[in-house]
């Protein structure tokens, strides 16, 4: 084992042999991930070949993804609603706030569309059946990974949109009702 191998420690990554060299990490992107095939095999192994127990683990992950998507949808909807109340006042302060609010809305709306069309679309895990249980789990995991990746894209779009929207509000607060 290398002396520079990372070890997980809560929300920090600590490198052995490098005292005081830690950096905040909020995910496990520094660690190797299993392929869907390897993950399916591992899930079945962890549950002693109990396919229903392995399928339950995966469906719980879909539930978490669904819940996070609904939260993101709610945040995006709030941004659209706030714009309905104050958007015209913000846009009246000048061209820059107008461009910021319109582009922010475009990003938020794009993120919402991605959520509705991709992440929140339904395909039941029990509809997928291949020749072996391991292949079936692998296909379901591949579907989960695609939804997770799409959720990441939607999240990025909504965050960019919110940042632009908040910037337009900032201009409004700085410029007031005058033209900018």
Angle (CA) 15 19 20, round 5°: 100
The residue with tokens 């490198």 is 15
Is the per-residue pLDDT at 17 higher than 60?
no
Q: Up-side HSE of residue 61: CA atoms within 13 Å toward CB?
A: 18
Average pLDDT of 3-28? 50
Detail the DSSP E strand segments found in 16-71.
22-24
The model's pLDDT over 100-118, given as tens digits with 9 standing for 90+, comes to 999 999 999 999 999 999 9
Q: Is-above-0.85 flag for pTM?
A: no
DSSP state, 171? H
With CA atoms as reference, report the closest residue to 140 among 152, 154, 157, 128.
Answer: 128
Could you tell me which residues come within 8 angstroms of residue 95 by beta carbon, excluding any fewer than 6 positions away? 180
pLDDT per residue as tens digits for the range 22-62: 555 556 667 788 999 999 999 999 999 999 999 999 999 99
Backbone angles phi, psi at 178, to 5 degrees: -75, 170
């Amino acid at each position: 084992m290398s002396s520079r191998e990372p070890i997980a420690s809560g929300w920090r990554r600590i490198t052995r042999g490098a005292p005081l060299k830690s950096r905040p990490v909020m995910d496990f992107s520094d660690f190797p991930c299993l392929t869907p095939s390897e993950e399916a095999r591992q899930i079945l192994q962890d549950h002693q070949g109990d396919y229903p127990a392995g399928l339950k683990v995966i469906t719980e992950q879909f539930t978490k993804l669904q819940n996070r998507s609904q939260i993101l949808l709610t945040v995006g909807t709030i941004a659209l609603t706030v714009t309905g109340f104050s958007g015209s006042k913000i846009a009246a302060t000048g061209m820059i706030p107008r461009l910021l609010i319109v582009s922010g809305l475009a990003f938020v709306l794009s993120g919402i569309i991605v959520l509705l069309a991709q992440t929140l679309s339904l395909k039941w895990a029990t509809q997928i059946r291949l020749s072996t249980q391991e292949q079936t789990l692998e296909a379901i995991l591949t579907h989960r990974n695609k939804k997770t990746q799409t959720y990441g894209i939607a999240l990025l779009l909504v965050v960019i949109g919110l940042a632009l929207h908040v910037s337009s509000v900032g201009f409004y607060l700085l410029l007031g009702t005058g033209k900018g």
